[in-house]
Amino acid sequence: MKSLFILKIGGKVIEDQALLDEALQAFVQQEGYKILIHGGGKRASELSKQLGIPVQMMNGRRITDAATLEVAVMVYAGLANKNIVASLQALGCNAIGLSGADANAILAHKREVKDIDYGFAGDVDAVNVNTIQTLLEGSLTPVFCAITHDGQGQLLNTNADTIAMQLATAMAPYYLVSLHFCFEKPGVLLNADDHNSVIPILHYNDYQDYQADGTIYEGMLPKLDNAFTALQKGVKEVRIGDVRAILEQKGTTLQY
Amino acid sequence: MKSLFILKIGGKVIEDQALLDEALQAFVQQEGYKILIHGGGKRASELSKQLGIPVQMMNGRRITDAATLEVAVMVYAGLANKNIVASLQALGCNAIGLSGADANAILAHKREVKDIDYGFAGDVDAVNVNTIQTLLEGSLTPVFCAITHDGQGQLLNTNADTIAMQLATAMAPYYLVSLHFCFEKPGVLLNADDHNSVIPILHYNDYQDYQADGTIYEGMLPKLDNAFTALQKGVKEVRIGDVRAILEQKGTTLQY
């Protein structure tokens, strides 16, 4: 089985050109098959604000109305994705930028309306493994933004961590997949204010305890839920940390 | 030799959802290998205006400063490209959206500054035929927006008619290429105000006469120059007209 290195870079890495360059250089240094997934950063919120589109939040999640979706498509699939692809090309990596609509790579459905209508938020149904394999075998490096589609012509906004998890688990039967979440912190922290408190190995049982006692909270929870799901579904290795941690195999490694 | 159908759809077709749907349906009906190239429409100018970015023109050409390039990348490579790809997917066509940076498909250089600095305007140097063949052979249908790159990390704004011509001529040694420019008029007109004055076959000699006496002018000139260049460089057929003309093999056919 061949190895597949999957790197997800978060919003705050995208926002800082020096950090982004460092992350892309680290990515390019990985040999063999690789896939990049990127968030959007605050640029989408800034653009919404400039255009007078109100940012609507509900339970910490953004409501994606039609105007907000257009901004997300412009910033994620346009500005962020194409600049990352052009930067990777300059580093000698034959990158190809994709949304889930491109080559029908990631199919999703509009999140069902129960108590809350999240608008054009997409929950992933399927990853088109064959197509991604065709690109990888053709010496191309897929670079995914966090936009998917429903197969009926509708683009959808999907969480980038979720896309990373879905891609990693879909590829796991065919490759030895290592999944790396790169963000602005050196790893999962025991104390959110102390960058020296990285948990080197986070077992699932301990994660549950940390969650119960409030040591790990808020934004880290969906990220870690995604990460543990990947591990549970056959991804060989999941690591979380900053660029340096990913490069030097430090940060936090998850274990079931 | 296999056939390759290349369709370029213009800005005014993109702007009108009914026209766009019609054009995409016509495109999907074509059998065999095909490539779509699209312009951006006035949405980019509208967005620039909303963001307070002045539109600078010089000799009828737009000056692409850094802010204007960002808008072009957002609208062309993001909003327009991904919506077209999602629509084609809904019609059963396995489309993949590309800028020239993706898979290093189209390399360009920033237009040399002589009298005028056009900013981030890109003149095409090379089309990566192998990569496009890999996609076509992989049953994918490339959909190009009018953004290229210089291989050094810089995205560039390139005229969509020029991209269509460059793609068609680059593929001509390997495929029987027919190139179709689809815009809002039924063909090249003898009288710009009379839609019944379509020139069915336009010979290059007549084009030169029409150009000299002012019958054909302004925006049609660069389009026809591109079209005749394609024909001269081995493209088998070049046709210009509206969606119906392209579908029914009417409109204007160019001849050398």
DSSP strand pairing (A155-157 vs A106-110): unpaired
Q: Name the DSSP class of A144.
A: E
CB contact under 8 A, B77 and A81: yes
Kindly provide the ipTM of the predicted complex, given to two decimals: 0.95
Q: State pLDDT tens for residues A170-200.
A: 999 999 999 999 999 999 999 989 999 999 9
Nearest C-alpha in A relative to B128: A94
Nearest C-alpha in A relative to B156: A86
| Residue A38 touches chain B, beta carbons under 8 Å | no
Nearest CA among B216, B215, B223 for reference residue B163:
B223
B117/chain A closest Cα distance in angstroms = 22
pLDDT at A115: 84
**Chain A residues closer than 8 Å to B131 by CB:** 138, 140
Per residue of chain A (256 residues), what is the pLDDT tens digit? 999 999 999 988 999 999 999 999 999 999 999 999 998 878 998 999 999 998 888 776 778 999 999 999 999 999 999 999 999 999 999 999 999 999 999 999 999 888 888 899 999 999 999 999 999 999 999 999 999 999 999 999 999 999 999 999 999 999 999 999 999 999 999 998 999 999 999 999 999 999 999 999 888 898 899 999 999 999 999 999 999 898 888 999 999 8
B170/chain A closest Cα distance in angstroms = 20
CA distance B65 to B214: 33
Nearest C-alpha in A relative to B132: A138
| Residue B107 touches chain A, beta carbons under 8 Å | no
Mean per-residue pLDDT of chain B: 94
**Residues paired with residue A241 on neighbouring β-strands, in sequence order:** A182
3-state helix, strand, coil in chain A (%, to 5): 40, 25, 35
**Chain A residues closer than 8 Å to B152 by CB:** 90
CA distance B19 to B156: 28
Q: State pLDDT tens for residues B45-88.
A: 899 999 999 888 877 677 899 999 999 999 999 999 999 999 99
**Chain B residues closer than 8 Å to A99 by CB:** 82, 85, 97
Nearest C-alpha in A relative to B82: A101
Q: State pLDDT tens for residues B198-210.
A: 999 999 999 999 9
DSSP strand pairing (B2-9 vs B33-38): parallel
| Residue B50 touches chain A, beta carbons under 8 Å | yes
Alpha helices in chain B (DSSP H): 11-15, 17-29, 43-50, 66-72, 81-90, 129-137, 160-171, 204-212, 220-232, 243-247
**Chain A residues closer than 8 Å to B98 by CB:** 96
pLDDT at B60: 66
Nearest C-alpha in A relative to B21: A153
Interface test with B, best of A82, A98, A110, A156 (most B CBs within 10 A): A82
**Chain A residues closer than 8 Å to B75 by CB:** 74, 78
| Residue A75 touches chain B, beta carbons under 8 Å | yes
| Residue A243 touches chain B, beta carbons under 8 Å | no
Where does A183-234 show beta strands of DSSP type E? 201-203
CA distance A163 to A144: 8
pLDDT at B116: 85
| Residue B151 touches chain A, beta carbons under 8 Å | yes
B158/chain A closest Cα distance in angstroms = 15
CATH of domain A2-255: 3.40.1160.10
Is the pTM higher than 0.90? The answer reads: yes
Q: State pLDDT tens for residues B137-193.
A: 999 999 999 999 999 999 999 999 999 999 999 999 999 999 999 999 999 999 989
CB contact under 8 A, B73 and A79: yes
| Residue A208 touches chain B, beta carbons under 8 Å | no
| Residue B161 touches chain A, beta carbons under 8 Å | no
Q: Name the DSSP class of B112.
A: P
| Residue B82 touches chain A, beta carbons under 8 Å | yes
Q: Name the DSSP class of B54.
A: P
Q: What angle do CA A140, A145, A148 make, to 5 degrees?
A: 105
CB pairs under 8 A between A and B: 116
CB contact under 8 A, A90 and B152: yes
| Residue B3 touches chain A, beta carbons under 8 Å | no
**Chain B residues closer than 8 Å to A95 by CB:** 101-103
CB contact under 8 A, A98 and B99: no
| Residue B141 touches chain A, beta carbons under 8 Å | no
Q: Is B110 left (phi over 0), alpha (psi -120 to 50) or beta?
A: beta
